[in-house]
Structures are given as structure tokens and as C-alpha cells.
Amino acid sequence: MVIKILGMGCAKCKMLEKITQAAVKDLGADATVEKVDDIQKIMGYGVMSTPALVVNEKVKVFGRVPDLKTIRKYIEEEM
């Protein structure tokens, strides 16, 4: 599983990455978490506001940081 954090390194982007890493660890998921900060790649996902969470090439959320429970749900949906 590939999980991508789309964002330019803002505080919310860093928070989303931290919570996502915790969710992956909690679930014991076999996942790679990647940061994407290239604006062209971000726009390629149709995301106009960051941060955004992409799991297996599916945009799950953008423009806000969901809580740990919600991120776990997004990951479980793709397991």
C-alpha cells in the first residue's frame, strides 16, 4: 500500500503526516508513506487545497487534517 501526503510542508501537512504514520503503526499496515510537495503532481490529483491524503492513488481527504480514527478508517478501506 502506498500512502501519499500532498502538501508544501505547512504545519497542517506535517501534522497529517505524523497522524498517518501513527495510524499505519497502530494497524500494522504494510504501507509506505510518501510526501509529495511538487505542485504539478498535487494538482494532478485534482487537489486545490492542502494537506491531502491519498491512499492507493485514491484521494481520501483534502484541505483539512482528520483525526487518527478517521485516517485509520481510510487505510482499512484499502487493506
Q: Mind listing the pLDDT tens digit for each residue in 12-22?
A: 999 999 999 99
Where does residue 71 fall: left (phi above 0), alpha (psi -120 to 50 degrees), or beta otherwise? alpha
Q: Mind listing the pLDDT tens digit for each residue in 27-59?
A: 999 999 999 999 999 999 999 899 999 999 999
Which domains does the chain possess?
2-77 (3.40.30.10)
CA–CA dist 47, 30 (Å, integer): 26
Whole-structure pTM value: 0.93
Selected catalytic residue, list 3, 5, 6, 13: 13
33 pairs with which residues across the strands?
Answer: 3
33 has catalytic annotation: no
How many helices and strands (H and E) does the chain possess? 3, 4
10 has catalytic annotation: yes
Residue 23, SS3 per DSSP: helix
